[in-house]
Every structure is written in C-alpha cells, then in structure tokens.
Copies of this chain bind each other. A is one copy, B any other.
Amino acid sequence: MAEREEVKNKQVLFKNYVDGFPKESDMYVSTENTIRLKLPQGSNGVLVKNLVLSCDPFLLLLMRKSDHGGLFSCYTPDSPITGYGVAKILDSGNPKFKKGDLVWGITGFEEYSIITDAESLFKIEHTDVPLSYYTGILGMPGITAWAGFYEVSTPKKGETVFVSAASGAVGQLVGQFAKLMGCYVVGSAGSKEKNISVLINHFLVLLICFNGVSFVLVVDFLIVLTVTRYFPEGIDIYFDNVGGKMLDAVILNMRKHGRIALCGQISQYNLAEPEGVKNLLPLIHKGITMKGFTVFDYYNHYSKFLDILLPFIREGKIVYIEDVAEGLEKTPAAFVGLFSGRNIGKQVIVVSRE
C-alpha cells in the first residue's frame, strides 16, 4: 500500500546562523530524506503536500540567533526552513481538515510536511483566484497590508500617503488601498539591479506607474529632497516597510498629527546592528504616532478581510504582481534576491501545480 511506503522528500535545509546579508549558501537543497505519506498514529496534526511557498523578508530574522521578542523561533541548522505556503492535505488527524482540503499557513520548504500545529492553518474556500494569492494578497501579506493601512494608520479620504518597498508583497496592496480610499499616494521601490544598501545611497531617476500608484526609486541624503518634491505639503501617513535612513528622513516631512505604521525594516535586517533613527523630536512637536504592529493581532479579522478583498480582486479593482520561481531549488536564489531588490512583486516558489 502506497501510504506505507516512504517517498523522497526534497527539502531546503538551513545551514547556519547568518550575520549580515543572507547568501544562497546559507541554505542547501537535499533529496536525501524520505517521508511516509501517512501521519503517525495518534497525531492531531496534518500531513500536507506543499504547492506554493512564500519568500518573505521576515524569514531572515529566523536565520539570526535571537529570541525575536518571543514572536518567532529561530531555524535549526540542517532542518528545513519554514514559512508561509499553500498546501493540500494528504492525511489529517485534526477534525478541522480532511484529505483533499487546501490550506494556507506556516509549513516547511519541502515537498511534504507534517504540520503539528494544524490549528494555525487557514482553510482555503475560494479557488476561483490563483492559489498563490493565499501566500500574498489573500494571505499574511494581504492582511498585514489591510490591518496596517485601515486599522493602524486610520486613513481619511484626501490624505497623503507614502509607502516604502511599495512593489513588495505588502506595499503594492497598501498603495492600492490608499488609492481606493481617495488618498494621494507615492511609493518608493528598490530597483532591479540595486541592493537595498545601494538603494539607500542613490537617488532615483524613475517614476513609474502601477495601477494608479506613483512609484519613486529613492534615498539617502537625497531622500529628503525626493520626499519634499512629491509631498510639498507633507505626509499624513507613512507605511514603513524599510526602517533606517528612510524612516529618519520621512519623519522630517510628516505633517502634524501624522501616523507612521511600522510594518517592517527590510533595510535593517542585513545589518549586524541597526542604524539609529535620530529624528524623533519631530514626533513630539508634530504630535505624530508611530505604531508597530504584526499580523498576528489581526488574524481574527480574516473572514471580514476576505469579504472585502475577494470582490476587489474579482472586479479587477486591485491587481497583484507576483514574481514566480518554479521549483524548490530556486528558493535560495529567490530568497536572497529579496534583499537585493531582484524580485518584481511578491516572490513565490511553485513546488507543485497539482
């Protein structure tokens, strides 16, 4: 019987803890392990076949030795890296799921995974949209963007909004949400060839347009000039995905009672020590609120979020750009590429189309 047999399980394994930038050699692909396609007796987890995996910047934090404020556990060397993905249930010991169900949530970067914390998975009910969307617009980045914009930033029609990493998994949605709300919005984005630290030392030349959202490629001592140029009357909302020098510069151009949603700090993850943000005094003088948040506090709104997002997607009011790599083997390059701005849109890995 096939379920008793062991099959090969291709995996992306973590090599060792990382300091600065991640390198492709911090992971390695192995086909040495096998797995039995049946859950062990008594398990209340699920056995899944992974279909789509998601390269998200926060995975780099799991490659660092730190307690991450108790939010994440670090990776273990020579174990598969983990992250968000879409998968199909092959066997379930949990009453919420049955064989054949599609789910999204934290899984392994491998062909097959046993997920013991099955309660953390979300069942996929709507399959008229691409499955990969559940790693992006309809998954963690989607609800991150939704919560960070609508809940954390308390936007009002006509306000001015600046989004950094605005072509990324989260940023591209924030820009479109802001447009839909009637805000003036400009986003900054890394360029294809330039890595973040280069981006942070060069000024932009380019203004591109993406579903109505203006994009600028920016930074460093010229950030302030750029920001001033595109926001002559200042910024009401800054949705910050990059942190560091960009945050420091944007604060100077915030308007009175502005709000800064701290979502991520991709410019800092590759540094041994974070850059300091110096311009905190204007937060006092202008009565600005800077609020950090994680998606974990907002997953309880997921069904409300789906009710809003699915019609937007079906009616084409929101578009979502993905950068699709085919095959688990592409993981190291795709992941490392995130930190050099190589991806255009949300980076996903297709493991299997079935």
Contact: B71 with A285, CB < 8 Å? yes
Contact: A277 with B280, CB < 8 Å? yes
From the candidates B264, B273, B285, B297, name the one contacting A292 in the complex (CB within 8 A): B285
Contact: A69 with B285, CB < 8 Å? yes
Select from chain B the residue with minimum beta-carbon distance to A67. Answer: B285
From the candidates B68, B279, B284, B287, name the one contacting A285 in the complex (CB within 8 A): B68
A51 to B150, CA, bound (A): 50
Contact: B293 with A243, CB < 8 Å? no
Chain B residues with CB below 8 A from A83, complex form:
none
A331 adjacent to chain B (CB < 8 Å):
no
Q: Give the contacts of A236-271 with B (CB-CB under 8 A).
A: 243, 247-248, 257, 262-265, 268
In the complex with contacts A289-B291, A291-B290, A274-B278 CB distance below 8 A: yes
Chain B residues with CB below 8 A from A281, complex form:
243, 265, 268, 274
A182 to B277, CA, bound (A): 34
Chain B residues with CB below 8 A from A42, complex form:
none
Contact: B264 with A284, CB < 8 Å? yes
Q: How many copies does the complex hold?
A: 2
Interface residue total, chain A, C-beta cutoff 8 A: 35
Chain B residues with CB below 8 A from A268, complex form:
281
Chain B residues with CB below 8 A from A69, complex form:
282, 285-286
Q: How far is the CB of A47 from chain B (nearest CB, A)?
A: 31
Contact: B290 with A297, CB < 8 Å? no
Contact: A289 with B290, CB < 8 Å? yes
A283 adjacent to chain B (CB < 8 Å):
yes
Contact: B283 with A290, CB < 8 Å? yes
A275 adjacent to chain B (CB < 8 Å):
yes
A288 adjacent to chain B (CB < 8 Å):
yes
Select from chain B the residue with minimum beta-carbon distance to A281. Answer: B265
A276 adjacent to chain B (CB < 8 Å):
yes
A294 to B292, CA, bound (A): 21
Chain B residues with CB below 8 A from A243, complex form:
280-281
Contact: B284 with A278, CB < 8 Å? no
Chain B residues with CB below 8 A from A279, complex form:
274
A275 to B275, CA, bound (A): 11
From the candidates B247, B264, B278, B284, name the one contacting A262 in the complex (CB within 8 A): B284
Chain B residues with CB below 8 A from A276, complex form:
248, 275-278
Chain B residues with CB below 8 A from A297, complex form:
257, 287
Identify 6 residue pairs between A and B in the complex whose beta-carbon atoms are under 8 Å apart, listed by A's number. Answer: A265-B284, A277-B277, A284-B293, A287-B292, A289-B290, A290-B291
Please name the 3 residue pairs, one residue from A and one from B, whose CB atoms are nearest each other, closest first. A276-B276, A283-B292, A69-B285
With A71-B285, A274-B278, A283-B290 known, 12 other A-B pairs at CB within 8 A are A71-B286, A262-B283, A265-B280, A268-B281, A274-B281, A276-B277, A277-B277, A283-B291, A284-B293, A286-B292, A287-B292, A287-B297
